[in-house]
Amino acid sequence: MKIDVQDLLIGKSVDKDVCEDFSLAKIDFNNNEYTFEGPIHIKGTLSKIEDGVVFKGHILAKVKTVCSRCLDEIVKDLNIEFEEEFRKSQDELGYKIIDNFIDITKLIEDNILLNVPLKTLCSESCKGLCPVCGTNLNKSTCSCDTQIIDPRLEKLKNFFNRD
Ligand SMILES: [Zn+2]
Ligand SMILES: [Zn+2]
């Protein structure tokens, strides 16, 4: 999504409010695929700085991914605060101003990726999938012969693992 910042650059206005809904199909990252439920909402203020503009605000999004253990879908609410600069000079790293426009797509993607967990679990106690038949063990049980630890031994194991 592109925003015209010419008024700020020429000093015609001091700041500019941004309040937009933005849709993003998906982000692939670290072998995970993130999609979104509904639009991504972005709200903030652009202000002039030397050689560019600074964009301060927050991103609200509902990100969908899958549990790393049981592959069930998870929806996570994100509320991300950000402050990023866009520069006119093209020789520096970071976000650029091109023909008096800034493109905030990359900013949104970067900030979302910084805030999504790398390993997502539907819950800390997720039992995962049966390695033999693939049954989701949170939802049902199966009769496969996997090494099920006797609950009494489990207690003993925890005892030895205690510091
Ligand atoms: Zn799970
Ligand atoms: Zn099974």
Q: Are residues 133 and 160 in the same domain?
A: yes
Instruction: Spell out which residues have Cβ within 5 A of ligand 2, the ion.
Output: 130, 132-133, 135, 142, 144
If pLDDT is split at 50, 70 and 90, which confidence band does 105 have? very high
Do 79 and 115 belong to one domain?
A: yes
Domain shared by 160 and 133, yes or no: yes
The residue range of the domain holding 88 is: 2-125
Question: Are 8 and 53 contained in the same domain?
Answer: yes
* Three-class SS state of 113: helix
- Asked if residues 20 and 1 have their Cβ atoms less than 8 Å apart, the reply is yes
The amino acid at 45: T
When computed from its CA atoms, the radius of gyration of the chain, rounded to whole angstroms, is: 23
Taking the centre of ligand 2 as the mean of its atom positions, its distance from the CA of residue 126, in whole angstroms, is 16
pLDDT (0 to 100) of residue 119: 79
Number of separate domains in the chain: 2
Region 52-57 average pLDDT? 96
Same domain, 53 and 104: yes
- Shared domain check, 118 and 156: no
pLDDT per residue as tens digits for the range 107-139? 999 999 999 877 789 999 999 999 999 999 999
Kindly state the percentage of the chain with pLDDT values over 90. Answer: 66
**Which-ligand-closest: CA of 144?**
2
- What's the 9 CA to ligand 2 centre distance in angstroms? 63
Residue 16: band (very low, low, confident or very high) from pLDDT cuts 50, 70, 90? very high
Q: What is the pTM (predicted TM-score) of this model?
A: 0.75
Cα(153) to centroid(ligand 1), Å: 25
Q: Which ligand is nearest to the CA of 135?
A: 2
The answer to whether residues 59 and 24 touch, using CB atoms and an 8 Å cutoff, is: no
Torsion 140-142-158-68 (CA) sign:
negative
Would you give the DSSP letter of residue 160? H
Is there a single domain that holds both residue 104 and residue 145? no
pLDDT tens digits along 18-36: 999 988 888 888 777 889 9
Higher pLDDT, 124 or 148: 124
